[in-house]
Structure 1
């Protein structure tokens, strides 16, 4: 990576965190993780949702960021298919919003953590994507998130861009909840087996973000995904087992489930930057799912 390495963080000075998009699936778990720290340290945390802060309003963003040491941008237009018909709206949140937060963080001396996505890649790889692999988004959502990354790199030198993929958690709709419900309702399920990725628990990603900041990780791009890989079919099989369901599963291809936005066929992200920063990656996806399952499917 060629980005500038920030000065080491100093402790025990109080560290004030602002979580933007705090009401979402990731934001909720990040707030919980930080509040755990706040009970035993000098960490303070404030969360804002869409009703509290419009990230597309630069003046409002600057006022909101002032006084914080770390700003985490969990806010995003994540309706992948809807973005195909509303790319301008998605751009305003995913790119303009990120740019506003980056400028504000730099102006006030805060460190910005920008959450990004595997959709910035085209999914044509056959080996895990490196953090510095060329961006080649093939969907509107991917293009707007890639633009957000570029804006952060340009406007906030002391940034951490954390790409993730295949997120699931207890505080929102997600793939395992949907498949467990369908498995209970239907006699048989057909599930895509030609898209491969890394199912990642939002609690694990929240913990990784905190660990990166606490470690004073060098500015740059990191991949916040579980280790290992599986297909949607493989993940569903694990989900149904956790739910105590024996619904028959049939593997199928992406051609059987055509969506407005193309999905990357290969969404496996490498973790070399984490190793270089001496920050442990998230563990194996299957082991982490086994820990998460009861909470997510409750």
Structure 2
């Protein structure tokens, strides 16, 4: 388990931090589950780099088993937790089709445990969900009020996790996101850079549309939501967050290679039918972010700009 609070900064660095977010809170202890994943790691980096009055406890499966209610309750009690940010999830989309029990254990049952413990200990929950709760048949960006209709085990488990959280702990926030990547862990950006350097050609799906999302931007949005909630009260409900804009996996790959300076790999567009997978992917999963922007005053960068930031860090 890792514990972090904000660090003092000076000069230009301090001013930059204030432009990202400014917290003026009483001491709050925050549990982050899935702390070693992409989003958890970005949250860790963010709070290490900024002065604030929040203390974060970053846990992962080796330090807190969220499939055990008793462990969660003990942790919340001993550390006086005010917020739970649940970044933990089973995200192996294709593997989930066969590993059904474990997928549901993490994406639904563990969320139920967090909801029960949060209710008992008066903690607030911010839970990260996915575009896979939709069937992908829309032709316009999905709103939070659009009906869910998951087409994969992963999507079904995440949708049921949302439902059980809101049933037990309705004073919670659910943030659906999509196409997440970062400088941490394994993700599409890193894979395409690696393959682009190794191969002369790649075929990439060009008929699935969504929005690449830099986990660093989502991490900043989550901290801003906590800041807002401390000042104005928690605005519970479901919200959508991804970077701005629309892309296909083919578009995404072309810009990854351009920004990474890869010129020796030819990228060709292919239909989904030419790249069969165990789990069904949404053909269209662009999310409408109007609600999260208007409620919390969050400004969302374009996906192209955020990708450039990520790749500049990866290729330094």
- TM-score normalised by structure 2 residue count: 0.88
- Equivalent residue number for residue 19 of structure 1: 32
Q: Does 1:106 align with 2:123?
A: no
The alpha-carbon distance between structure 1 residues 177 and 70, as it changes in their structure 2 partners (threshold 3 A), is same
CA RMSD of aligned residues (A): 1.4
Q: Does 1:253 align with 2:271?
A: yes
- Distance in 2 of aligned mates of 1:146 and 1:79: 16
- The answer to whether the 8 Å contact 2:224/2:296 transfers is no
- Distance in 2 of aligned mates of 1:109 and 1:55: 17
- Equivalent residue number for residue 61 of structure 1: 72
Q: Does 1:73 align with 2:86?
A: yes
- Distance in 2 of aligned mates of 1:278 and 1:53: 30
- Equivalent residue number for residue 249 of structure 2: 232
Unpaired stretches in structure 2, ≥5 consecutive residues: 1-22
SS at match of 1:269: coil
Matches within 5 A, 1:164-183: 164-183=177-196
SS at match of 1:69: strand
Unpaired stretches in structure 1, ≥5 consecutive residues: 1-9
- The answer to whether the 8 Å contact 1:274/1:281 transfers is no
- Distance in 2 of aligned mates of 1:236 and 1:91: 31
Matches within 5 A, 1:81-160: 81-160=94-173
- Distance in 2 of aligned mates of 1:189 and 1:171: 23
- The answer to whether the 8 Å contact 2:193/2:260 transfers is yes
- Equivalent residue number for residue 288 of structure 2: 270
- Distance in 1 of aligned mates of 2:273 and 2:198: 24
- Equivalent residue number for residue 46 of structure 2: 33
Q: Does 1:222 align with 2:235?
A: no
**Residue 281 of structure 1: how far off its partner (Å):** 4.1
- Equivalent residue number for residue 201 of structure 1: 214
- Distance in 1 of aligned mates of 2:284 and 2:100: 23
The alpha-carbon distance between structure 1 residues 126 and 174, as it changes in their structure 2 partners (threshold 3 A), is same
Query: Aligned residue pairs: how many?
Result: 287
- The answer to whether the 8 Å contact 1:222/1:271 transfers is yes
Matches within 5 A, 1:181-196: 181-196=194-209
> Runs in 1 of length 4+ with deviation above 6 angstroms?
none
